[in-house]
Structure 1
Amino acid sequence: MPKRSEIADLEAALQSHLEAVSSRVTSLLEAQFEQLSLQCSPAELVGSLNGGKMLRARLAWLVANAFGTAPREDLVRAGAAIQLLHSASLVHDDIIDDSAVRRGRPTLHILTDAETAILIGDLLVAMAFEHVAPLGREATAALASAFTQLCRGQLSEASLSWGDDACERLEEYARLKTGALFGAAFELGALSTGMQAAEQARCRAAGEWIGVAFQFADDLLDVQTDVSDLDKDHGADIRNGIPTLPIWHAYHSLGGSAEEPGAQALAAASASEASRAFTVGKIAELVERAEAALPTAQRPELLSAAITVTLGSLAQGGAPADGRPLP
């Protein structure tokens, strides 16, 4: 168990890292947008794209420091690249889902228009790969593989069904679409310490399972009764007819017959204790898989912190993550 002073030092180092990543992303975005004439100011665009808890950059740092040490610039560069790619995926997601709010702000296609937002999303993808390239072939390949996986996940959304066998498909969909960047964060963190390829792959797999757990936790938040703490569109999946784990469970709890349940009935059942318990149980299973996949760490408490900062106590049936840097 680390001493309180050691925890304080780690928290300070992590906070410094996140500030450096945020500053790097801001600088990269400003350099691009100051050259363009768009419907809103560069400051508005940067504010729309660079925010949140920077969870994926946080995870890369925690994994790197759990297994060894890594050059600070390498972790900042990797974190910035992951965040740029994540922001690109959110821009495109918001257009697909017709979402008007993200991180408490108007989404990019509302600030500008859909055509402009699509192109900015594409620009962010290019910026991410340009920024990670100096880290070498392995790092670039890790990010490219994650982006391929993410796109395959989004393309598979249309094939999601409400059948009895849909649970496994929902898990695979979440592994592709959401788990991809979590896996990349774990892999880039491991890579930065010089870890062997086989152990890097184990870290990536663990990150993907944590990403699936995060997606299921996010799906649970989307159907919760009290939505006052959400800073994005609520109920988008029910509105768009997309099955998520709690919604799928609710659908079957209502009979799942030819007489389809109405949106209000489905929303109420999705927020029920039964659907919550089912979803939390799946999250706990995924956390166990991730923990089993991870190699032995020098600082295992930082791997526990990575899970806690992602899910809070939800894996044990408690509250969602509260954003604390370390437990």
Structure 2
Amino acid sequence: MISKSVFGNVDFSDKISEALGSVQFPESPINLYQPIKYILSLAGKRIRPQLAILGADLFGHAKLEEVVPASVAIEYFHNFTLIHDDIMDKAPLRRGKETVHHKWNDDIAILSGDALLIKAYEQLAKCPAAFIPLLLTTFNRVALEVCEGQQMDMDFETTEEVSEDEYVNMIRLKTSVLLGGALEMGAIIAAAPSSERVKLYSFGENLGIAFQLQDDILDAFGDPATFGKQIGGDIIVNKKTILHILLKQELNSEDFEIFKSVLALSSSDSDLKIEQMKKLYEKYNVLNKANALKEHYTKRAYTNLEEIEVESQRKEELYNLADRLMHRAR
């Protein structure tokens, strides 16, 4: 993402990678710091730390070096959540590589995750002193909400009925608030007015909801050649995605019995399970309904961005990012 901005012609992703690579972790104890280096080496899209920089760039009153520590803090926090989430999900792979708890063990992963969270606060302390109280307030609010969202997600595994509103609120907390918070933290460092920060945060929050709804849709209907993981993975494990919820609330009594029988199929019958569930999705027009909901939150995000009172050309990178996220194949 090369941006013609107040920061000059800068590839923000490269700048973040450079900042992450320049951080020196102690060599000992090796089982505390090596897993941190490992998870940070599994480079994802770096969307969240880029948003912190874009949030500052939008208002144009900050130096890049003032924003980078907040950007790194966001990336540290995100990876801390990934380490702990993988333990809770018993996931063997992350970004195509072994998860930390699988490569080492649960105890090491828990402690390394904790250390990474502390390192995030260490980075925040490097931000301009005048903004640190407000940055901490925002960071702590978002961090706690992410924990609330993760708990709700786990609770849903054993909850019989999950409504559409409950699900959207869960993904808002688990996924979206961190996108909004990253943008807001960048705007804080750029000394943006509070009213404009609220609009920018809402843009990130609504975009994050649309992003997760898109992820649910791709899991069932994505192109296997480009999706990057097994199509129908959520169906196999009976995950209560938006597709599952929209379907269940529309089923007639006869199809509800079929639905229950599909849920009861084991992972050894995964192909049949996916096929039968997608037949129900098709019968009840679930894909179109899910896409309509995704578009609703996408439009809300664009409206939030439109309402921010800065020159339209300054919003170009955020529009481009939103467009890429909502038209991705994986």
Place the TM-score, normalised by the shorter chain, in its bin. 0.7 to 0.9
Which residue is 1:46 aligned to? 37
Counterpart pick for 1:178 among 175, 179, 188: 175
Which residue is 1:18 aligned to? 13
Query: Where do 5+ consecutive residues of structure 2 fail to align?
Result: 264-272
Distance 1:71 1:269 in 2: 54
Counterpart pick for 2:87 among 74, 88, 95: 95
Which residue is 2:262 aligned to? 262
Counterpart pick for 2:204 among 204, 207, 218: 207
Distance 1:14 1:66 in 2: 15
**Structure 1 residues 8 and 78: alpha-carbon distance in aligned structure 2, compared to 1, 3 A threshold:** closer
C-alpha offsets along residues 87-127 of structure 1, whole Å, 9 cap, x if unaligned? Answer: 11111111112222221211111111122111111111111
Task: State the shift of 1:52 in Å.
Answer: 0.8
Q: How many residues align?
A: 307
**Structure 1 residues 69 and 227: alpha-carbon distance in aligned structure 2, compared to 1, 3 A threshold:** farther
Task: State the shift of 1:61 in Å.
Answer: 2.3
Which residue is 1:142 aligned to? 138
Distance 1:262 1:96 in 2: 25
Are the equivalent residues in 2 in contact too, given 1:312–1:321 (CA < 8 A)? no
Residues 1:192 and 2:189 are matched in the alignment: yes
Q: Which moved further from structure 2: 95-104 or 235-244?
A: 235-244
**Structure 1 residues 95 and 234: alpha-carbon distance in aligned structure 2, compared to 1, 3 A threshold:** farther
- Normalising by structure 2, we get a TM-score of 0.80
Task: State the shift of 1:53 in Å.
Answer: 1.1
Q: Which moved further from structure 2: 175-184 or 92-101?
A: 92-101
- Normalising by structure 1, we get a TM-score of 0.81
**Structure 1 residues 283 and 95: alpha-carbon distance in aligned structure 2, compared to 1, 3 A threshold:** same
Query: Where do 5+ consecutive residues of structure 1 fail to align?
Result: 1-6, 323-327
C-alpha offsets along residues 159-209 of structure 1, whole Å, 9 cap, x if unaligned? Answer: 43564x711111100111111211111101211211122321222222111
Residues 1:59 and 2:54 are matched in the alignment: no
Are the equivalent residues in 2 in contact too, given 1:99–1:236 (CA < 8 A)? no
Distance 1:288 1:198 in 2: 20
**Structure 1 residues 232 and 73: alpha-carbon distance in aligned structure 2, compared to 1, 3 A threshold:** farther
C-alpha offsets along residues 254-303 of structure 1, whole Å, 9 cap, x if unaligned? Answer: 55735614141565358759333222211211122223334434343554
**Aligned ranges for residues 239-258 of structure 1 at < 5 Å?**
239-252=236-249, 255=252, 257=256
**Structure 1 residues 209 and 146: alpha-carbon distance in aligned structure 2, compared to 1, 3 A threshold:** same
Counterpart pick for 2:123 among 107, 128, 131: 131
Return the index of the structure with the highest Cα Rg: 2
Which residue is 1:3 aligned to? none
